[in-house]
Amino acid sequence: MDHFAERLLAWFGEHGRKDLPWQQDKQPYKVWVSEIMLQQTQVTTVIPYYERFMQVFPTVDELAAATQDEVLHQWTGLGYYARARNLHKTAQIVMRDFNGEFPGTQEELESLPGIGRSTAAAIIAICTNQRAAILDGNVKRVLARVFGIGGWPGQTATLKALWEKAELLTPDQRVADYTQAIMDLGAMICTRSKPQCNACPFSGECHAKNSDSIAQFPGKKPKKEKPVRATTMLVIECDGEILLEQRESSGLWGGLWSFPESDDPDSYLEAAGLDAHSRIPLTPFRHSFTHYHLDISPLHIHVKVPNRVSDSDRTCWYNLETPQSIGLTRPVTRLLDALQSSPLFQ
């Protein structure tokens, strides 16, 4: 399509977003944090997390010096926690290997934990205005629809075709604006559902619109039934404090704090030296991950004071009145919110 970049930039000049928090001071550190947070997460969700994160960790050296618990605490509720763990690791590498300065090449950026080809390109383009093509979820959707690139983007051939188109269209000038513009077009106009085609600068030439096949682009991931797993979470309470355990560093909830899990509560309590005073089953609920559903059956257990487990590196008593700054899993925050207004904790 002729003059794609020019038309997109003209649209951006009139309609694009220019007041997002990370656009005000385009330092590599701030752009990097925003790009990691925006992976698989909408802008409206990210903004308050980003602003709080920057208040606590305004510079890369402060992030590197923080504990993993402190980082995960600021990430609690944002999901995909590997992003936070990689963020922390990368900050430490930048301080150790790059003298506190983010590397200035795409290849070096891609060598850092959690930074892939598109994220590295976005940092380079936005911060230095060097030519670098991006291909996040919004861009994939725009290119697939406008140019009729069929197939699921997770397939090798489809992804290759999308990258080739992204590389071809990226201009040599105003690369930072172009990068923000094509992301904005996907986020604001060419949305996953109910796109505003009449407001799109490419509606006249859009393959998907003109062939009345918008819903077919981009192609859907082949459906696969998610398996269902089940667990019993032990909400062990003593004098208004809740026993939590820290997860191993790997896995979906790596490094986060959660309730102990056991299908045999008696054995767990005996091993921990805890004496149950009462047990009350709480309302079961489902927590869904990308690849499976987890059915959770919470069991509130009130224990007597004398046998209380001491805090350790892997366990802690979480104080509801003065909560510690630690990273919590989503089921924990959900249950704690519900329980704090429950008669059980009055």
pLDDT bucket at 341, cuts 50 / 70 / 90: confident
pLDDT tens sequence across 2-23: 699 999 999 999 999 999 999 9
Handedness of CA 164, 165, 170, 172 (dihedral sign): positive
pLDDT tens sequence across 311-330: 777 899 998 888 888 999 99
Domain 228-345: CATH class, spelled out? alpha beta
Compute the average pLDDT of residues 204-218. 95
pLDDT at position 338 is 84
Helices (H), the chain: 4-15, 28-37, 43-56, 60-65, 68-75, 82-97, 106-110, 117-128, 137-147, 156-169, 175-184, 207-210, 265-272, 330-340
* Residue spans in the chain of domains classed CATH 1.10.340.30: 4-216
Report the distance separating Cα 74 and Cα 55, nearest Å.
10
Asked whether the predicted pLDDT for residue 128 surpasses 80, the reply is yes
211 exposed, middle or buried (CB, 10 Å; 0-12, 13-18, 19+)? exposed
* Residue spans in the chain of domains classed CATH 3.90.79.10: 228-345
pLDDT at position 290 is 86
pLDDT tens sequence across 61-93: 999 999 999 999 999 999 999 999 999 999 999
pLDDT tens sequence across 245-297: 999 888 889 999 999 999 999 999 988 888 888 999 999 999 999 889 999 99
pLDDT at position 306 is 58
Compute the average pLDDT of residues 98-113. 95
Asked whether the predicted pLDDT for residue 307 surpasses 70, the reply is no
Instruction: Give the orientation angle of helix 68-75 with respect to helix 43-56, to 10 degrees.
Output: 150
Report the distance separating Cα 105 and Cα 108, nearest Å.
5
Say whether 35 is catalytic: yes
pLDDT bucket at 340, cuts 50 / 70 / 90: confident
pLDDT at position 89 is 97
As a CATH number, domain 4-216 is 1.10.340.30
Report the distance separating Cα 273 and Cα 16, nearest Å.
60
Handedness of CA 110, 87, 17, 193 (dihedral sign): positive
pLDDT tens sequence across 151-160: 999 999 999 9
Query: Which of 6, 35, 107, 270 does the annotation list as catalytic?
Result: 35
